[in-house]
């Protein structure tokens, strides 16, 4: 996992991952929320699913409102 930090530069806050500046935001609260969300997402991604069903739940479902391509319909 990377080390995240928040650095104030002028009136803005810069979110950094390691030594790399990633994002510039106006408020410290927003920067802290972004760091927290990023850490949670990376932790969730690093944890392998325990069963095939868990993998299915994490997959992206097709939107039923989208009309399929006529060439793909049987």
13: which strand partners?
A: 8, 25
CA angle 48, 53, 54 (to 5 degrees): 35
Predicted local distance difference test score (pLDDT) of residue 13: 93
Tell me what pLDDT residue 37 has: 87
Question: What is the pLDDT at residue 10?
Answer: 92
Per-residue pLDDT of the chain (74 residues; tens, 9 = 90+): 468 889 999 999 998 888 888 889 999 999 999 888 888 887 887 766 665 555 555 555 555 666 666 666 55
Per-residue pLDDT at 28: 92
């Amino acid at each position: 996992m990377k080390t995240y930090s928040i650095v104030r530069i002028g009136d803005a806050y810069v979110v950094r991952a390691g030594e790399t500046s990633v994002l510039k935001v106006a408020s410290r609260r927003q920067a802290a929320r972004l760091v927290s969300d990023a850490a949670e997402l990376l932790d969730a991604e690093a944890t392998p699913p325990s069963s095939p069903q868990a993998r299915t739940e994490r997959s992206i479902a097709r939107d039923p409102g989208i009309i399929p391509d006529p060439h793909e319909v049987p």
